[in-house]
Structure formats: C-alpha cells, structure tokens
Structure 1
C-alpha cells in the first residue's frame, strides 16, 4: 500500500500547491477557492479546475504537498544519523537552524501545516497524511534519541516532537528574535534531562 504522502505534484501542479498554501497561511482553509488560487498564480480559473476539479482536492493536495516536504526533510535527517557518529547538539542545532530560516522565509507554509492538524481533527479525510507526518517525525526523533543513549526512545521521541511543535507554533504566533538560540537551548536541555533520568 502506498504511503499517504508518496504522490508528488506535477511541475504544473506545484505552483498551484504553493499558491494554495500561501492562501491557507494567510486566510485559513476556508479562504481557498479556485478563483483565489487563480488570482494568486496569475492563471485562469479553468487552468486551476483542470488540475483540481473540487476545492477539497485542491486543499488536500496542498496540505499533502506541505507535509510531504517536511517529511522528506525529516527522512534526510534520519538517514544522516545512520552514516556518521551522532552528535546530539549538532542534530538539535540543525533542526532549529532549518526551522529558523523556514519560518522567516515562508511562514505561510508552516502555518498551513498547523491548519492541516486542525483539519484532521475535524475531518477523517485529512488524517492519513497528518498521521504519517507525525509517525515520520517520531521515527526520526526516536532514531536520534536512541543514538543519544535513551533507553525509552519511543516515549522520549513523543515528548521531543510535542515540545518542538509547541515551540514552532509559538514562534509562528509571536515571532521573536533569538529563536534559534532559545529553541536549541531548550530542546537540548529537554533531551539531556530525559536521558539523565534513565
């Protein structure tokens, strides 16, 4: 069975997905219409409906695209852990550094990810892609925490992912300077305290 996020948009669909995410980030899912996406991309409404007949397919495709992008990044992080000596501080710093840049450059995409979580809470049709996103996050964190010496990597990974998501959501809601340093310090301390209590 294919993963919920394995399908990738075609080169013609990608700008539609990116535009939809920007709209979701600015106005929420309710702000997405074929006409709004057409205006955002400079395409005709007919061109948008050619690729996505319904508004739901447009929203689902965009959320899938956003979460797929993050999952690919997480998988790359996990793969890197298997090919070199693990450095906890470097891992946390790499994560917070990447997110620090992302939240500055394209916050709407990450706001859209949180919109996807809320959409999944309201509707089952959004749950498979969100469930896979969280599963991949936990697997990546579990691998890192096992390498760091955790004897309960599954539990600690769940706590780490929850903490990171909360930190990212706060930064999106109330942007502050020094985010990378603060987040790195907090997450590194969390992991070390979890492991120290073994």
Structure 2
C-alpha cells in the first residue's frame, strides 16, 4: 500500500499500474495482480489504507489531549508538530491524499473514502473545539479543517521553513476568532 501511495504522490492516479507498484514494492507482478485484480481495486485499497492510518493518528492525538486539561494552544502545537513531522517524512503519502480529493471530485467511487476522511478530521477538531467552549463546535470544526487542509496543501506545494511558526499562529488566531477569544 505504501508503494502505491508513493506512486500516487509522485505521478498521480494515472501513474498507478500493477507493474509500477510491484517494482516500487520489490515484489512480483503476480503477487500484486493476485491480491488486487484491477487497478481500481489497487487504488481504492491504497486510499483506504491511508485513510485508516490517518484516522488512527488523528484519534490518538485527540484522545491524548482529551485526558488532560484542555488547552487550545497545546492542541494546536501538537497538531502542527504532528503535520510538520508527517510532511517531512511522508510528503508523497500526503500528496496522494490530495490526489484522492481530486479523484473524488471527478469520480463518485472515491467519494465515500474521502468523505470518511473529512468526517474523521471534523470529529477530531469538533472534540477539541467543544472542549475549548466553542458555541458551535461542529460548524467551527468544518471551518478549522478547511483551513488546516489549505495550510497543509500550501506547504506541500510551496514548502516554507517558517511553516511551523506560521501555521500555529494562523490556527490559533482562527480558533480564537471562532470561539470568541481575542
């Protein structure tokens, strides 16, 4: 699955072939075609794998913060630090995620995977914003997730050394305005 995600991150969905995945993964072509009969099954399995990974990490982050006295700044710090690490180590996987978003815009079969992804992001943010006393945690979570996705996409497209500092400041400012703190 990682090999497929790397290919998607480098070449888009069109770059995924059984042969390319086998080569990238260092396994036989027969093994890939046996487990994933069609290219679409292979792509969907890779996207589901990425989703499960992201969902698990977001939930672990939310639960880790839930057990402590909630502080918005600690949540933003942990979230941004998590993504700084992710983007430096797994950029191609995250680029593959954005490819999945585009694929869902074009093809309905990818929409359930992407919808679950967004829902998990929203649920995680909603938990944090509810703890921060947001008057409308669900709507505010939607706005927060949209901003976060945009910041991550911008960093992938045009990397900046100041990303950590700027993203933390921008997200803190957003949350403060959403929950009515100055």
TM-score of the two chains, using structure 2 as the length reference: 0.96
Q: Tell me which protein shows more helix as a share of its residues.
A: 2
Question: Are 2:105 and 1:85 aligned?
Answer: no
Question: Are 2:91 and 1:110 aligned?
Answer: no
Identify the residue that residue 61 of structure 1 maps to in structure 2: 45
Deviation at 1:80, TM superposition (A): 2.5
Deviation at 1:81, TM superposition (A): 3.7
The 3-state SS of whatever aligns with 2:135 is coil
- What is the CA deviation profile of residues 109-162 of structure 1, one whole-angstrom value per residue up to 9, with x for unaligned ones? 000011111111111211111111111111111110111111111111011000
> Distance between the aligned counterparts of 2:101 and 2:109, measured in 1?
12
Alignment RMSD: 1.3
5+ unaligned residues in a row in structure 1: which ranges? Answer: 1-16
Among candidates 77, 81, 103, match of residue 97 of structure 1: 81
Deviation at 1:108, TM superposition (A): 0.4
Identify the residue that residue 132 of structure 1 maps to in structure 2: 116
Identify the residue that residue 13 of structure 1 maps to in structure 2: none
TM-score of the two chains, using structure 1 as the length reference: 0.89
> Distance between the aligned counterparts of 2:28 and 2:34, measured in 1?
10
Identify the residue that residue 30 of structure 1 maps to in structure 2: 14
Question: Are 2:144 and 1:160 aligned?
Answer: yes
- What is the CA deviation profile of residues 36-85 of structure 1, one whole-angstrom value per residue up to 9, with x for unaligned ones? 01111121110111111110011001111112111111111222243221
Deviation at 1:163, TM superposition (A): 0.2
> Distance between the aligned counterparts of 1:187 and 1:64, measured in 2?
28
> Distance between the aligned counterparts of 2:118 and 2:28, measured in 1?
36
